[in-house]
Amino acid sequence: QVQLKESGGGSVQAGGSLRLTCTVSGVTNDEQYYCMGWFRQAPGKEREGVASIYYLDPPTYGDSVKGRFNISQDNAKNLLVLEMNSLKPEDTAMYYCAADTSSGGYCFAGPDHIPSFYYIGQGTQVTVSS
């Protein structure tokens, strides 16, 4: 059973940076088996795909975070990381780590489908003040 646990959320002023970490457990050692990603949800808004990564493919990013956020993974440590820079108040949301099998249909469907990944963590809150 895949389990995802996020950490690193918090409050920051606009223009600042935060680093979110997702600890992954219960996965196979085959790094080609899963794709990983982040999505977010602000109060009263729909879920929004933020970034995803799969094996050696280039990461994908939602349009609103391109050039500001960077996703990476450390398979040796079973960690997924989201570096968030130049944060804006509109980045305020609950951020969720997500995973899906590479055969699951959503891995390569683009950032809009990250919220449909099968495995989802409990989320970590990010608040950006102006």
Q: What is the pLDDT of residues 34-79, one digit of tens each?
A: 899 999 999 999 999 999 999 888 999 999 999 999 999 987 778 9
> Which residue is associated with the tokens 């085959």?
30
Strand segments (E) across the chain: 3-7, 10-13, 18-25, 34-41, 48-53, 60-61, 69-74, 79-84, 93-101, 119-120, 124-129
Q: pLDDT by residue (tens digit) across 79-126?
A: 999 999 999 999 999 999 999 988 877 888 889 999 999 999 999 999
Is the pLDDT at 30 greater than 80, yes or no?
no
